[in-house]
Chains A and B, each alone.
Chain A
Amino acid sequence: MSRIFYSKPSYSPVSPQPHSRHHLIIADASGAARAAKLQAACAGPNTVLLIAPADARLPEAELREPRELADRLSALIAQLPAGTSCYLFGRESFIWPAAIRLQDLGTARSQIHVERCGPMVRDVLCIHCKTRMHDVTDTLVCCDGCDLLLWNYDHFSRRHGAYMGFQVNAEQADDTPVAEALSS
């Protein structure tokens, strides 16, 4: 596959940033374990925002619904000190839109640290009908909106937190590759 269109993020383990005056840790259910580990390693004040049900490993976490996240972040930004580091753990469909939201509020990219957690799944956006499929596990997916068989392409939108899916057998309907489980 051509590198030119290769926009799949790569990740390395996130660690507490020195000199930070505050650590803002945000996780979904699949990132809770990593969030708990990072919080334990953080010296100094921190805030944990869990966009998931309560988790015993994060007893002091503030629990929020996904739809509350954007507003909660703007309120937090207005209270936390400028030297805050932000850490995001979870599915790509969660961490990247949250990172974009933080940047839209003025947080610098260099203050935001993301790590993908959980099962190897992707959200896929159908480029033909704009339907979004959640937690796709294979290289092929049938679109919920237009029934086309889509190639789960390594072209990632950080703003949408989703990969681009396009019709795999457009030229010849019976020429269908075999679906494989996503490996990375």
Chain B
Amino acid sequence: MTQTRHRVRVSAVARLGPSIREIHLEPLEGDHLPAFSPGSHVVMELPLGEHVLRNAYSLTSSPFERSRYAIAVRRQPDSRGGSRWIHDELVPGRQLRIEAPNNYFPIRAPADGAPLLLIAGGIGITPFMSLLRARRPDSGPMSLHYAFRDRVDTAYLAELKRLLGSDLHTYESTAGERLDPASLLAAQHLGTQVAVCGPAAMIEAVRAKAAALGWPEQRVLYERFSAPAGGTPFRVRLQRSGRSIAVSSEETLLEALERAQVPVRSLCRAGVCGECRTDLLGGEAEHQDLFLSDQEKTAQCAVMPCVSRACAGGELLLDL
């Protein structure tokens, strides 16, 4: 599946902290960009030298604002170049292509008036911004628990304080403050929806505590925040075409397939949506996705090329 592409122009680059930038995008054609719901992301094409990197970014602007989008990007020290390019090269006036928004993290209360508990770790705050910036006085109870390393290099703190008042709770780890998922979840009432976005360890902690406290699975919504990381180089062989392709340490398996012009359907590029699922005919994959079941992962019968790679020193054989 290919998403509709839209041409946009960078209208502003705002500094949210020493290593965080908010990028504003306005449409090149027409007055409006496609509608989206809170928690949506867009895939943006970043022209890095000869190859194009396609990264997903949560929309941080209000869904009621249709004349522009905003995204926020933290400079990643182990970046494959995407965040570095955005921080160092991207200036207002630059034209880019994005895909229409998709939402794999639809944040909403399960019922009118039911409480919404938001938990963010670091730059994992981004998907919550579109919800909070569109919050109306009559929307149900909502609280945000925001954990970060240090207050100086943390996005949106002042704005969140204004938007949420006493419903904002912050945890600065350099000041010794810790967010304890167990006590936080234990204090919630029946009907509460929790949504968590942050590092994998934070999400795992919240999910495990929620299960232990008898929470139903569907009341725990999560989105892992991590840039699609590279890793050890490996080779992939394609059964149908007989081709063999090298996947470098700087790219994902999906990107390597796209570079070699092997058609693979993809959407989220984050191991969530299942669109790029490919049958695995040989080799052992190091599964990084949240889509395949544990049985499928153990059976090594399929792989999600957008996030997963071969186990160290291995080679994958795909049904392509």
Contacts and interface: CB of A to CB of B under 8 A. Distances in A.
Chain A binding site: helix, strand, loop or mixed by DSSP?
loop
Given A19-B213, A19-B214, A106-B110, A81 B186 contact: yes
B212 A19 contact: yes
Interface residues of A, number: 22
Contact of B188 (A19, A20, A81): A81
B299 interface: no
B240 interface: no
Interface stretch (A72-80, A89-97, A118-126, A138-146): A72-80
B267 interface: no
Given A19-B213, A84-B214, A106 B188 contact: no
Interface stretch (B216-224, B226-234, B275-283): B216-224
B220 to A, nearest CB: 10
What's the interface size class on B, roughly? Answer: 20 to 34
Contact of B218 (A17, A105, A108): A108
Interface string B100-112: 0000000001110
A77 B190 contact: yes
B193 interface: yes
Given A17-B214, A21-B214, A84-B214, A108 B186 contact: no
B191 interface: yes
Contacts of A79: 189
Contacts of A111: 190, 216
A82 interface: yes
A118 to B, nearest CB: 27
B219 A82 contact: yes
Output the residue of B186, B190, B191, B215 with the most chain A CB within 10 A.
B190
Interface of B: 109-111, 113-115, 185-186, 188-193, 210-219
